[in-house]
Amino acid sequence: GTHGLWVSAALDCGGGSDSNSPLEFRLVNGSSRCEGRVELLVQDAWQPLCAANWDLADATVLCHQLNCGYAVATPQGGHFGNVEGPIRTDVFHCVGTEPHLLSCPTSTLGAQACALGNSASALCSGLQDALRLREGQSHCDGRVEVFLDGTWGRVLDSAWDLRDAAVVCRQLGCGEAQLAYDAPAPGHKTIPVGLSLVHCLGSETHLTQCNVSASLLVHAGTLRDAGVVCSGECEVSTCPP
């Protein structure tokens, strides 16, 4: 997380192709894949992350990255088991709206700065695999896709309005709907249509609670897709259960 302006001079914003940079992230030792100790894949080996400077904003980015909703807590003190051996000392300075941890500015702690066993963890709100936003500026805006019958599908913009968008934003923990719009269909590859029509009252907590028409067509010609712009992260206390 961000801890004052002093960190800016130490940040490595270069992205780069350092072979020692993490490639993937996961949560382990929890009751589901959406909670547990944070581990980074570096040079074909999974390594735990030091908990120093790890905060709810960082965890929120990871939860969204893993399609696990939003961060509820970052349990301390070996909550998900003790760690033996080397521990990563990466520090992520996330705001909380980034699409991926590697999108956040990073710095590194000194080698002795992390107590043995003091590993980062995250408790996410739960699976959000059934819905995602693509090709936007963050995970809280973009073209809507749903997961049906084992594949991701488009949502067509037939009668798409702000009430439908409100449910999408609520389900993703992305605050209030600011805009419902007609998004260009994905041009880079063929994606089947998952929902051809969505009609929500606007008070539902999940898109599947709305009146929907599922239609796994191979493509939909020139039809456009449903798009939303949400206000951003909701406060944990006001996020949907």
**pLDDT grade for 39, boundaries at 50, 70 and 90:** very high
Let me know: does 40 contact 89? Beta carbons within 8 Å. Answer: no
Q: Which residue has the higher pLDDT, 67 or 200?
A: 200
* CA dist., res. 103 & res. 135, Å (int): 15
Residues 6+ apart with CB under 8 A from 114: 50, 51, 52, 87, 89
Query: Does residue 189 surpass a pLDDT of 90?
Result: no
| Domains recognised in the chain with CATH numbers | 5-124 (3.10.250.10), 131-238 (3.10.250.10)
Please, is 32 exposed, middle or buried when counting C-beta atoms within 10 Å of its C-beta (0-12, 13-18, 19+)?
exposed
Among 47-51, 107-111, 135-139, top mean pLDDT goes to 47-51
Query: Does residue 54 surpass a pLDDT of 90?
Result: yes
Query: Does residue 8 surpass a pLDDT of 50?
Result: no
Q: What is residue 5's predicted lDDT score, i.e. its pLDDT? A: 27
Q: Which residue has the higher pLDDT, 153 or 178?
A: 178
The mean pLDDT value of the chain amounts to 79
Amino acid at 149: D
Query: Does residue 214 surpass a pLDDT of 70?
Result: no
Residues 6+ apart with CB under 8 A from 202: 162, 163, 164, 166, 167
**pLDDT grade for 2, boundaries at 50, 70 and 90:** very low
Q: What is the DSSP string of 156-180?
A: B-TT--HHHHHHHHHHTT---EEEE
Q: What is the DSSP string of 178-236?
A: EEEEEEPPP-SS---EEEEEEE--S--SSGGGSEEEEEEES--TT--EEEEEE--PPPG
Q: What is residue 81's predicted lDDT score, i.e. its pLDDT? A: 83
Query: Does residue 77 surpass a pLDDT of 50?
Result: yes
Query: Does residue 88 surpass a pLDDT of 60?
Result: yes
Q: What is residue 151's predicted lDDT score, i.e. its pLDDT? A: 73
Burial annotation 33-67 (CB, 10 A radius, 16+ → b, else e): ebbbbbbbebeeeebbbbbebbbbbbbbbbbbbbb
pTM to 2 decimals? Answer: 0.51
Tens of pLDDT, residues 124-169: 877 555 788 988 888 899 999 987 656 788 898 888 999 999 999 9
% of the chain with per-residue pLDDT over 70: 79
Q: Which residue has the higher pLDDT, 188 or 169?
A: 169
Let me know: does 32 contact 98? Beta carbons within 8 Å. Answer: no
**pLDDT grade for 14, boundaries at 50, 70 and 90:** very low
For 142, half-sphere exposure in the C-beta direction (CA atoms, 13 angstrom radius) is 18
Q: Which residue has the higher pLDDT, 122 or 214?
A: 122
* CA dist., res. 148 & res. 104, Å (int): 31
Give the tokens for residue 110.
């000194």
Backbone angles phi, psi at 44, to 5 degrees: 70, 15
